[in-house]
Structure 1
Amino acid sequence: MEDCLDELATNIKKKCKTLLPLSSKCSIYKIPRNLRKINEQSYTPSLISIGPFHRGDPKLEPMEERKLRYLQKFIQRNADRDLEDYLSAIMKWEKEARDCYLATIRLSSIEFTEMLVLDGCFTIEFFLTWHGTCIDPTDRIFHRPALNQAILRDLKLLENQVPFFVLEILYNIASEDNEKAPSILKVTYECIIGLGKVPKHFKKTKILHLVDFLRTVKHVNQLFKISYEDQHLEFPDGISELYESGVTLKVDKDDKFLNINFENGVLHIPELMLENHTESQLRNLVAFEQCHYPRESFVVDYVLFLDSLIYDRKDVEVLVNHGIILNSPGSSEDVYRLFSNISKGTTYSRVTFYYADVCRSLNDYCGTPWNRWKAILRQDYFSNPWSMISTIAAVVLLFLTVIQTYYDIVQLRY
């Protein structure tokens, strides 16, 4: 028996010695199974593989030739540099790049470096072409709008990433002699978000990859208020119930869709445009936070808060009518299902819930009877000029009737 135990212990120790050291710099993850099973399509690239996780997928193989063509175009941007310069620069950062991936990457040093350079150069050249003034007539991507939109969607998937510092290294080599070249942050911002200034807080933030870039754009600088009271968080009623309780809705033209607040009876919610790839984008942001920012889950909390406001189709219609949800991709039932499904499988902290104060203020406001009475008056009797005129006329008529009745009684007495 002792011999068997010694042999077993020896075998386990040998296996332990083969384990590779873990890195605390991991930021690119495989989607957790509990999230993937709800909607696998939202996490899977449809056209192009970036990084190691979907490398070699036969369905994505046709784009490999276009990666090579974009690599050629990218290298031509600096005539003083050749392909060897880019490969050498990235190979020096191989270990740091490997540490960014949660799973062990079973690629040789040569294969891994080739992948980073090929995928990184394609991504940057795609960004530069997106806002270029002249597109090569032989370009098979940008002469087909549906194709470039699908690729942009794939570049925002958590499993489809290379570290952002790889993009920085490659871009800096290509633009080293061009004093007028914009920063890689500017180029990335214009492609993913649109024309405009890069937010100031980007200069103080280390961007991990493109999903983290997107989250940083939407991030609102606000400290959590942690207290024991927050552990007893209660979500508010559906938005239609809040509206009937006197809450006024106001849409904010704010690019930071997380910036929801409630003050003086007015619930401010930035508009949310629902497009074909909105669900995929939100799901990947949620998955990234679940893996990397469990205590700072701004997007997760946003999705949960909206899910609490949307109980049924009627709630969706209220949000659409107030301009808060735009370009709904289908029926109100589809929007309801979208938010209820996105929040499935997620976990959140009641202690650090981003909208705890908003929830508490809404519940306190709606718990006051006077606010509901005011809402009934406003919605039932003063919702439009004609009902308001009719209500005022009825009140005046009632007042005159009371006066007339009073004088009739007085005359009868005398």
Structure 2
Amino acid sequence: MEDPIDELATTIMKKCETLPPLSSKCCIYRIPRNLRKINENSYTPSLISIGPFHRGNPSLHAMEEQKLRYLHRFIQRNGNRDLEDYLTASMKWEKEARDSYLATITLSSIEFTEMLVLDGCFIIEFFLTWQGNTIDHNDRIFHRPALSQAVLRDLKLLENQIPLFILEILYNIAFEDNKKVPSFLKLTCECMIGIGKVPKHFQKTKMLHLVDFLRTYYLPPEREEICYENQDWDFPDGISELYESGVTLKVDKDDKFLNIKFENGILYIPELMLENHTESQLRNLVAFEQCHYPRESYVVDYVLFLDSLIYDKKDVDVLVNHGVILNSPGSSEDVYRLFSNISKGTTYSRGSFYYADVCRRLNEYCKTPWNRWKAILRQDYFNNPWSMISTIAAIVLLILTVIQTYCDIIQLQY
């Protein structure tokens, strides 16, 4: 009889030999369990499945018919191309597309290619309809604004992606000779971000999918690799404490919400509009960075920094009153709960924390007694015209009293 240890070793080695090769092109991930359990709804599509991870989910089945309708409409945009052209091009890039997923995809070649074409053409046709001025009166999505917003939200989920290069291939086939349509990047900017031009850095950046597209847009315009030999920094106090210590808070109208600066005692924070889907978008950007960009975690660092500024609802009120947070759907309690939960389960590197220098300079500024004294004067004695007038009058009266006392002393001496 064969030694049971030898038999077990042979079995394990056979399993090792049949493992699929790892790819460096992996960029579409399942959400890590430690993040998903905090708020599962933020990572789960509510209306439509894109890609293989949620394919076949019965609760999303209703949109499969709409995918076919959008596919048919998309193919009609170029009379010189038929469905076979799109299928052939997608199948040619099947291996590269499969390599984009962390998990092994068990779909057959035919099923996988069908998914790429159906989902890819749906996304492009959705963007074209979003950007267009006329909408088919029979369209089931755009005649119900809540549905179009729900679809757009689902397209920003990490688990709901197909590679961006597949979308570009399908788009270029449909509009190969049409100079009147915008570039695919411009179309995506209009629909995903709401801007009419392609940022300069997009031209030299390879974006992996729509979540990476969003992250690339929000990245700081000038960023260098951060590596501090000295990691001697701490998170600052809550924003209300900073304000009482002399820090002036100003809202920055820059829509790049990551671009936080501290200069000459002024903390500039871009405004953040909290809408129904903001939490979902932030969470998926955070999850993508945790999986793919652990040393370039700008969004993770952002939510950690904002979390450090929000110790309680009083801090939320300061940010709302200064226009930093535009909180349309909820209360201060909702905002406090959002930022206290959104950073749970995340990891970051102290040596590459993007706001380390901001934290260090904030703490140094607040330790200077003169800055706190100025803040007390500003907040307690010069916070409105009447208190300012009263304070100035008191100072003038004090000066006159000192002068009168001095004059009386001089007269007594002579």
TM-score class, shorter: over 0.9
Aligned residue number for residue 226 of structure 1: 227
Structure 1 residue 413 displacement after superposition? 4.9
Kindly, what percent of the aligned residue pairs are identical? 81
* Corresponding letter in the other structure for 1:126: F
Q: Which residue of 2 aligns with 1:248?
A: 248
Aligned to 1:397: 397
Instruction: Determine helix, strand or coil for the equivalent of 1:91.
Output: helix
**What pairs up with 1:5-44 in 2 under 5 angstroms?**
5-44=5-44
- 1:202 is matched with 202
Shift of 1:327: 2.8
**Aligned amino acid, residue 182 of structure 2:** P
Q: Is contact 1:328-1:335 (8 Å) kept?
A: no
- Indicate whether 1:125 and 2:125 are aligned: yes
Aligned to 2:179, the other structure's residue is in SS state coil
- Using the TM superposition, give the Cα deviation of residue 256 of structure 1 relative to its aligned residue in structure 2, in angstroms: 0.9
Q: Output the amino acid matched with 1:258.
A: L
Partner of 1:262: 262
One-letter amino acid of the counterpart of residue 402, structure 1: V
Name the CA distance, whole Å, in 1 between partners of 2:403 and 2:255: 57
Instruction: Tell me which amino acid in the other structure corresponds to 1:398.
Output: L
Query: Which residue of 2 is the match for residue 274 of structure 1?
Result: 274
Matches within 5 A, 1:45-56: 45-56=45-56
1:11-410 equivalent positions in 2, closer than 5 A? 11-220=11-220, 221-229=222-230, 231-410=231-410
- How much does 1:16 deviate? 1.3
Equivalent pair of 1:260/1:267 in contact (CA under 8 Å): yes
Matches of 1:2 and 1:396, distance apart in 2: 104
Task: Give the 3-state SS of the residue equivalent to 1:351 in structure 2.
Answer: helix
What value does the CA root-mean-square deviation take over the aligned residues?
Answer: 1.2
Any conservation in 2 of the 1:316–1:332 contact (CA below 8 Å)?
Answer: yes
Give me the whole-angstrom Cα distance separating, in 2, the residues matched to 1:380 and 1:212.
47
Moved more, 259-268 or 276-285: 259-268
Please state how far the C-alpha of 1:180 moved relative to its aligned partner. Answer: 1.6
CA distance in structure 2 between the partners assigned to 1:173 and 1:253 by the alignment:
39
Mapped partners of 1:12, 1:187: distance in 2: 50
Taking a change above 3 Å as real, the CA distance of residues 363 and 2 of structure 1, as seen in their structure-2 partners, is: farther
SS of the aligned residue for 1:135 comes to coil
The answer on whether the counterparts of 1:120 and 1:167 sit within 8 Å (CA) in structure 2 is: yes
SS at match of 2:251: strand
C-alpha distance in structure 1 between counterparts of 2:228 and 2:396, whole Å: 52
Aligned to 2:352, the other structure's residue is in SS state coil
Shift of 1:2: 7.4
CA distance in 1, matches of 2:195, 2:315: 33
One-letter identity of the residue aligned with 1:22: L
Q: Deviation per CA, 1:200-222, whole angstroms, max 9, x where unpaired?
A: 00000001000000000001131
Superposed CA deviations along residues 210-265 of structure 1, whole A, max 9, x for unmatched, are 00000000011310332221x23301111111111111111111121111111111
Amino acid at match of 1:72: H
Q: Contact 1:224 / 1:354 at 8 angstroms: preserved in 2?
A: no
Secondary structure of residue in 2 paired with 1:317: helix
Deviation of 1:196 (Å): 2.3
Tell me the CA shift for residue 409 of structure 1: 3.8
State how far apart, in whole Å, the 2-side matches of 1:251 and 1:134 are: 37
Q: Which amino acid aligns with 2:170?
A: L
Partners of 1:225 and 1:292 lie apart in 2 by 17
Distance in 1 of aligned mates of 2:22 and 2:344: 30
- Supply the AA of the counterpart residue of 1:133: N
> Match of 1:228, as an amino acid?
E
Shift in Å, 1:130: 0.2
2: distance between equivalents of 1:313 and 1:346? 23
Q: Which moved more, 1:35-44 or 1:237-246?
A: 237-246
Alpha-carbon distance, 1:44 to partner: 0.1
Taking the aligned partners of 2:226 and 2:37, their CA distance within structure 1 comes to 34
- The 2-side partners of 1:208 and 1:326 are apart by 30
Structure 1 position 328, deviation (Å): 4.0
- Show structure 2 runs of 5+ residues with no match: none
Contact 1:301 1:354 in 2 (8 A): yes
Unaligned 5+ residue runs, structure 1? Answer: none
Give CA-to-partner distance per residue, 1:385-412, whole Å, 9 cap, x none.
1111000001111122222233334445
AA matched with 2:59: K
CA distance in 2, matches of 1:280, 1:291: 17
TM-score, with structure 1 as normaliser? 0.98
1:313/1:332 contact within 8 Å kept: yes
Letter of the 1:264 partner, please give it: N
Aligned-partner Cα distance in 2 for 1:31–1:397: 68
User: Aligned partners of 1:330, 1:278: CA distance in 2, in Å?
Assistant: 12
Mapped to 1, the partners of 2:267 and 2:200 lie a distance apart of 27
Equivalent residues, number: 413
Distance 1:43 1:227 in 2: 33
